């Protein structure tokens, strides 16, 4: 689980870090009102970045194809 900025999230989506096996990126507002992107990697719980006091209005920004 890792929080990144939009630029790095878009590089992950483009396949630049495929060897790290990213499974999902969640876009959310952080506790300080900023925009954040949480990356969930293979082997981690897919429900990481569920709504909380620190993860506000989470939405799926990208999800790896199944298969």
d(CA 61, CA 63) in angstroms, rounded, equals 7
Whether the per-residue pLDDT at 1 is higher than 80: the answer is: no
Q: What is the pLDDT of residues 11-48, one digit of tens each?
A: 999 999 999 999 999 999 999 999 999 999 999 999 99
For every residue of 1-56, DSSP letters joined together read -EEE-HHHHHHHHTTTTGGG-EEEEEEEEETTS-EEEEEEETTS-TTTT-SSSSEE
* The pLDDT value given to residue 25: 98
Q: Within a 13 Å sphere around the CA of 15, how many CA atoms are in the beta-carbon half?
A: 1
pLDDT of residue 66: 79
The answer, yes or no, to whether residue 67 has pLDDT greater than 80, is no
- Tokens in use for 7? 């630029």
């Amino acid at each position: 689980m890792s929080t990144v900025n939009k630029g790095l999230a878009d590089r992950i989506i483009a396949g630049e870090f495929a060897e790290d096996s990213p499974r999902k990126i969640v876009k959310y507002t952080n506790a300080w009102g900023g925009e954040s992107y949480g990356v969930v990697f293979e082997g981690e719980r897919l429900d990481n970045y569920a709504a909380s006091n620190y993860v506000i209005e989470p939405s799926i920004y990208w999800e790896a194809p199944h298969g």
